[in-house]
Structure 1
Amino acid sequence: MKKIFIYFLPVILFSAMVCQVQAQNGLLRYAQQKAVESNYYEAANGYAEAYNKKATYRAAKGAAEGFTLLRDYQKSYDWWKKAVEFSDATNEDQLSYIAAANQADKRDEVFEALESKNGKLSSPTTNLNLDSLKHWYGTKANAGVIGVGGVNTTSADFGFTKDSDGNIYFSSDRGGESDRKKRGLRFVKSYKYYDKNSDWTGRDFLSIYRMDESGEIVSLAIPVPNVFHATDPYALQESPVLFYTVTKDIRQSGSYEVNSEIYYSQINAEGQLSDFKGLSINSPLEYGIKNPFVDETNKRLYFSSDMPGGLGGFDLYYMDYNGDFEFNTPVNLGSKINSEGNESAPYLKDGKLYFASDGHIGLGGLDLFESSVTGVRFSDIRNLGIPYNSSQDDFGLFITSENKTILSSNRPESKGWDDIFEVETLYKDFQALILGCNGEQLSGPLEVTLMEGAEKVNIAVKNDGKGKLQASVAPEEDFEIAIKKEGYFSIQDKTLSTKGLKEASLEKTYQMVRIPYNTTAYVDLVFYNLDESAIRKDAEASLDKVAELLKSYSFLNVAVRSHTDSRASEAYNEALSERRADAVRDYLGQFGIARSRIEAEWFGEKEPANDCGEGVPCPENKHQINRRTELLLLAFPEEGKAYNLPPEMKDLDLCDISNVQLPVELPTIYFGFDKATLNVNDMMALERVALLLREMLQHRLEISGHTDNRGSDAYNQKLSEKRALVVKKYLEEKGIAPERMEYEFFGKKNPINDCGETPCTPAMHQINRRTELSLPKLNKNWSKKEE
């Protein structure tokens, strides 16, 4: 018995193999027959079942082709990956595998495969380009897509148009469906006739639907007789007319295909189509015509067709028409627009032609493109990129009167076989203008850092070199920006935010101010006794103030310039003025002021404040004026250093240089009874004023003279004028231009002490005998601490 079993075992195995082969051959014949019938669902699954019986190249490729035509991208990729592993696989199979990998979002495999092909591509990958794909996938999209509410179902929903009453029209096969699971496919063959029982989708035929402003959706009855598919609605705005595409039931003997045609109908008061008329160029047994778009302004109908004479596949055409809808001869849009592939779904808006194509360089499948339109000339073809396009099919762009961009796609986000999407801005457009003090845009290089969120993620910023910055920023997020330019105060803004921002862009204007290097911010003088360098008691308050400012503000240094009178030798005076400068440095050093912040100079007798030069006899009061040290507080003293704007100055207009300078308390000059002469203390006080005006050229001085109330009005008027003029003349002798000083005199009109009803003491009269000094438009005191 055992021998018999051993004898019959090969026979049994051989018989099983024969049965298996016969079973597979049967499945292959079945699948091939379904493919001939364009029933790709049954064909693809038949080949897959045959492959499971026996793994062959023929079965794998058949399944791959079937699932490709079904637009089931993941299965298409899986089966092409199996097919190319066979030695029988052709170069065309390899290219189909690359296309399937792209549509299944296997980017690394696509990039690697394209690099290996070295740019030598043909159909079905002629529209894939390695550099372009890397650019699109590597660029942060400024928008995303969301499904249009109330329209999309688990069926196929695509196309979008709106009439002047706000009604939306679209295409859908929601009329019915089989029990088959949702497939990622699109009706690329929906423009041809197939009997419903053998229709390759297993779904109902396409129809046109209308959704009114309340959201109610109804199916439109197509008045054209014997129609299976009706799709591609386009509603005119200037008249109640709807253009659309149909595929009719035309019965003839023999083998043939019925192609699509374009018709148009009136929309009646009930919103239904009341009549119909087809284009004279319709020829359904020879070629297809689809995707009508009407340019009402120029009376031009655009459409897609594979009529003879095109550049390959479906091309875009237009026909001019008159007021009676009589159409001229079709005109091909030419090689700028049309390719060896398929172009479809034309749409014009604001000088741009939008269309879908699988022939131009894209992301895979049908992509959306735009072209500039001038008359009938088209230029500057541009792929719209992500998110308008995906690795699958994207088509049917429409822009509403509210500037909402609508498109159709079978991308993975679709809830049905095709969905209608609205392009939603995900990122806001950030724009900043950088202006100089004169309001001009600031040209030249800028160092810009834009950071997002708490993690301070850097965002790329474009600078046009002419003072304009642009970036895409996330919604509902906080930002901060830092802008630097050599020789200018840097800008830092931590208040940027898109939280709650409804507008599409966040716009800011910033003013950059040149750093006012070595600007004198404050001045004072100290004086010395004869042949001494010690700091006098009356100088301590001035030096204390300087020390306080230096300690408080790191952007200040002090220039110390010491002088002597002309008595003694020049060498002796040189050394004496140096000792006086050192005394000031030592005094400031007591407060912790570094010597590096004190710029000391000494001039001996070389720069006298008056004409008491060597050999010129002068009274002691004039010599006293020459024994001095000038104190100049310099803001931003290091030329070329990139200073930040001091927080004390953030609210000041630093384009006005005077706002860098601190207000100085100006003296009031008091006079003896019936006098208009200056004593030595007055002269020392006016030396400070002269120094201020020489160093701060933006300031003008107001001088007003007064008297006490004794004497006549006329006499006091003249006396007050003399008192104002004596001050003005003294300052003029110090080099202050007369036009920088204005003087007035009031006699006894404006007393400090009213000596009318109540008699004044001599001291009160003394206060009334004065000349007041003031600087109009005094600066804000940025050194004054907030209480």
Structure 2
Amino acid sequence: MKNYILFCSIIVSFFSFDSYSQKAKINSADKQYDNYAYIDAIKTYERVAEKGYKSEDMLKKLGNSYYFNSDFDGAVKWYGELFAMSTNVEPEYYYRYAQSLKSTGQTAKANKILDEFSNKYKNDGRGKLFKENANYLDKIKENSGRYKIEDAGINSKYSDYSSFVYDNKVYFASARDTGNFSQRKHKWTGEYFTNLYVADVDPTTGGSIKVNKFKTTINTKFHETSPAFTKDGKTVYFTRNNYVNGKKGKDENKITLTKVYKATLENDKWGNVTELPFDSDNYSTAHPALSPDEKTLYFASDMPGTVGQSDIYKVSINSTGGYGIPVNLGKTINTEGKETFPYITSENEIYFASDGHSGLGGLDVFVGKIEDNGTISDIQNVGDDINSPKDDFAYSIDPVSRRGYFSSNKEGGQGSDDIYKFLETRRLKCLQEFNGIITDSETNAILPGTKVILYDSQGVMKNNTISDLNGSYSFSVECGKTYNVRAEKEEYTTKEVIVNIGKVSGKTSLPIALDKAICKVTIGDDLGKCFGIKMIYFDLDKSNIKTETALDLEKVLDVLNNNLNMKLDIRSHTDSRATYQYNEALSERRAKSTIKWLVKKGIDPNRLTGKGYGETQLVNGCSDGVKCTEEQHQMNRRSEFIITFF
């Protein structure tokens, strides 16, 4: 992956050797290096090094020249010589050396260098991430085996990368030679400048056919890449070198950087190419990505305030088409390395490429969760199907079909960068469908139009829905998590239930029965049904009111206090254990105990009658000689509140 789209900081210094001719060659190479002409610089530096003229500075530049062109074998060679000469180098060289080692399969040695790096530079976030994720290879392995990957069918022998699917077409950047005499080669990469190309896509298979150049004024003689179209197809954001209206802009070092541009479609022609207001001649912006609601634009930049070599930012797009102030996404996602190529899905996920998070070498693709407050959490490597020891980046996916594309310079491709299509066969996160039906607790009637809210175990709302005509609701939830589910409906008492989701993919069902908040009763009804009080329980062989049942009696008390003419007949029952005579006496004591409690709370005793029925009205078959559980017996130990007058 070439760094004209990755914003690397270049440290330029001069060499001092006794030989004037060697010094002249080195100065020439420095100039080429400073101007990003790395292909020529490598040749000059190596010729000088082969003659025995070496210094730390030159070895750094030789290593960088290979590293920035993703030739990690060369980078390992020269960084290795640098570390043999001295380990008193800047943290970047530790990290680049480790990344290069990983990219050439020398993972154990890379981890050793990373361990030295994290111990020596304790405040560097990349070192902290390595320490916190010492078993990162195990996690990557766990996240692997989830994709079916194929060549996208649009690659050439040159660099092809950064795809975007819109309207059954895939748009991408390519450095392929189209035979145009005006094509110019980039000194840095030795390839032609990239332009935007387009190919038709089979929506079923993701296959591509008939590649054509995107024939618009968007393409120029400099680099264009990373298109992102709005849903209506009338606006496209893209990356280009600092070049508009035939004028090339440069920074204070006379380097042409990259900017994010916008173009609009009018009369079937793309025009009105404008740079965005947060662009600058003095830093790069690139790789725009729109949020699903198109109210936020994400991009990569090395603007002031950047944590590392390039960070991911977001900026709001207001209703009039203006832009807010760019906001750095923070250190949970951005490291001292490179974070770039963001892509946002409708599932509040952000995919991005990074060499700062723990990966397999070069750039790896990661995914994070966008929280409601805008922070990024739960960042994970997507696995070794997509990622390799080389650069893997520009990942995009359709969250419905689970088809998508990514770019890579991994072994086996046709060009320096290639585009691959994929089908995700297993989600990274274990998800379950959590569903249920909302009903009336008394009549079992389905309750459509019920609002159902999903909370996590910390009480943070994760989602909400309305039950359909069948009373059904459904959420997608993470396996192994605990959630609170709240059901709300007018004229019903709100109910909240805790549910534990299983640890494997599948379904979890939770029917919810709601109690009516407004209860219609008449003479002969059990008042307890209004509150779901089916029983007032007593301990075995006791007639005193249990503390935990006093709350239910308070509900009965409230109704009596608000319906001064209402009279109740309190009926107490026992289970079948003990003798018939004993149970009759026990239930009588319990009825009197309940009446006594209500009278003590201020109810006129003339409004209350009561009787003990012993074991004569069992609600189940737990009679003498029948083996039952304690729970079954307790169902028979109850008090009822029958309305006799109001």
Task: Compute the TM-score of the two structures, normalised by the length of structure 2.
Answer: 0.55
Measured after TM superposition, the shift of residue 30 of structure 1 is 3.2
2:277 is aligned to 280
Task: Between the two structures, name the one with larger relative contact order (CA 8 Å, sep ≥ 6).
Answer: 2
Q: CA 1:136–1:74 in structure 2 vs 1: closer, same or farther (change >3 Å)?
A: farther
Q: Note if contact 1:238-1:296 (Cα within 8 Å) is conserved in structure 2.
A: no
Q: Note if contact 2:307-2:336 (Cα within 8 Å) is conserved in structure 1.
A: yes
Does residue 102 of structure 1 match 2:102?
A: yes
Q: Note if contact 1:31-1:47 (Cα within 8 Å) is conserved in structure 2.
A: yes
| Partner deviation per Cα, 1:487-534 (whole Å, 9 max, x = no partner) | xxxxxxxxxxxxxxxxxx9x99xxxxxxxxxxxxxxxxxxxxxxxxxx
Measured after TM superposition, the shift of residue 211 of structure 1 is 0.8
- Map of 1:163-202 to 2, 5 A cutoff? 163=166, 165-175=167-177, 199-202=187-190
2:387 is aligned to 389
Structure 1: runs of 5+ lacking an equivalent: 1-18, 179-194, 434-461, 471-504, 509-787
Which one has the bigger strand percentage?
Answer: 2
Q: Secondary structure at the match of 1:246?
A: strand
Q: Note if contact 2:392-2:409 (Cα within 8 Å) is conserved in structure 1.
A: yes
1:159 is aligned to 162
Measured after TM superposition, the shift of residue 140 of structure 1 is 7.2
Q: CA 1:254–1:21 in structure 2 vs 1: closer, same or farther (change >3 Å)?
A: same
Q: Note if contact 2:184-2:192 (Cα within 8 Å) is conserved in structure 1.
A: yes
Measured after TM superposition, the shift of residue 27 of structure 1 is 3.8
Amino acid at match of 1:153: S
- Map of 1:102-251 to 2, 5 A cutoff? 102-115=102-115, 119-121=119-121, 126=127, 128=130, 131-136=134-139, 139=142, 141-144=144-147, 146-163=149-166, 165-175=167-177, 199-213=187-201, 215-223=209-217, 228-247=222-241, 248=243, 249-250=247-248
Q: Note if contact 2:126-2:357 (Cα within 8 Å) is conserved in structure 1.
A: no
Q: Secondary structure at the match of 2:357?
A: coil
| Partner deviation per Cα, 1:720-741 (whole Å, 9 max, x = no partner) | xxxxxxxxxxxxxxxxxxxxxx
2:416 is aligned to 417
What CA RMSD, in Å, does the superposition of the two structures yield over aligned residues?
A: 4.2
1:688 is aligned to none
Q: Note if contact 1:147-1:420 (Cα within 8 Å) is conserved in structure 2.
A: no
2:518 is aligned to none
Amino acid at match of 2:71: D
Q: Note if contact 2:250-2:257 (Cα within 8 Å) is conserved in structure 1.
A: no
Task: Compute the TM-score of the two structures, normalised by the length of structure 1.
Answer: 0.46
| Partner deviation per Cα, 1:399-425 (whole Å, 9 max, x = no partner) | 135221322222234332222223445
Q: Secondary structure at the match of 2:98?
A: helix
Measured after TM superposition, the shift of residue 104 of structure 1 is 1.6
Larger Rg: 1
Does residue 49 of structure 1 match 2:47?
A: yes
Q: CA 1:366–1:254 in structure 2 vs 1: closer, same or farther (change >3 Å)?
A: closer
1:36 is aligned to 34
Q: CA 1:318–1:99 in structure 2 vs 1: closer, same or farther (change >3 Å)?
A: closer
C-alpha distance in 2, partners of 1:88/1:177? 48
C-alpha distance in 2, partners of 1:376/1:66? 40
Does residue 72 of structure 1 match 2:74?
A: no
Q: Secondary structure at the match of 1:170?
A: strand
Q: Secondary structure at the match of 2:85?
A: coil
- Map of 1:669-684 to 2, 5 A cutoff? none
Q: Note if contact 2:194-2:223 (Cα within 8 Å) is conserved in structure 1.
A: yes
C-alpha distance in 1, partners of 2:263/2:377? 35
Measured after TM superposition, the shift of residue 75 of structure 1 is 1.2
Q: Note if contact 1:313-1:340 (Cα within 8 Å) is conserved in structure 2.
A: yes
Amino acid at match of 1:297: D
C-alpha distance in 2, partners of 1:407/1:299? 25
Q: CA 1:356–1:23 in structure 2 vs 1: closer, same or farther (change >3 Å)?
A: same
Measured after TM superposition, the shift of residue 263 of structure 1 is 2.1
1:369 is aligned to 366
Taking only the aligned residue pairs, the percentage that are identical comes to 23
Q: Note if contact 2:341-2:394 (Cα within 8 Å) is conserved in structure 1.
A: yes
Amino acid at match of 2:344: L
C-alpha distance in 2, partners of 1:417/1:374? 36
292, 311, 316: which one aligns with 1:320: 316
Q: CA 1:149–1:304 in structure 2 vs 1: closer, same or farther (change >3 Å)?
A: closer
Q: Note if contact 1:227-1:246 (Cα within 8 Å) is conserved in structure 2.
A: no
Structure 2: runs of 5+ lacking an equivalent: 1-16, 202-207, 433-478, 482-499, 508-646
2:85 is aligned to 86
Amino acid at match of 1:242: V
Q: Secondary structure at the match of 2:80?
A: helix
297, 301, 313: which one aligns with 2:297: 301
| Partner deviation per Cα, 1:5-56 (whole Å, 9 max, x = no partner) | xxxxxxxxxxxxxx99566445433322321222111111221122222263
Q: Note if contact 1:27-1:49 (Cα within 8 Å) is conserved in structure 2.
A: no
2:260 is aligned to 262
Q: CA 1:250–1:89 in structure 2 vs 1: closer, same or farther (change >3 Å)?
A: same
Measured after TM superposition, the shift of residue 146 of structure 1 is 2.9
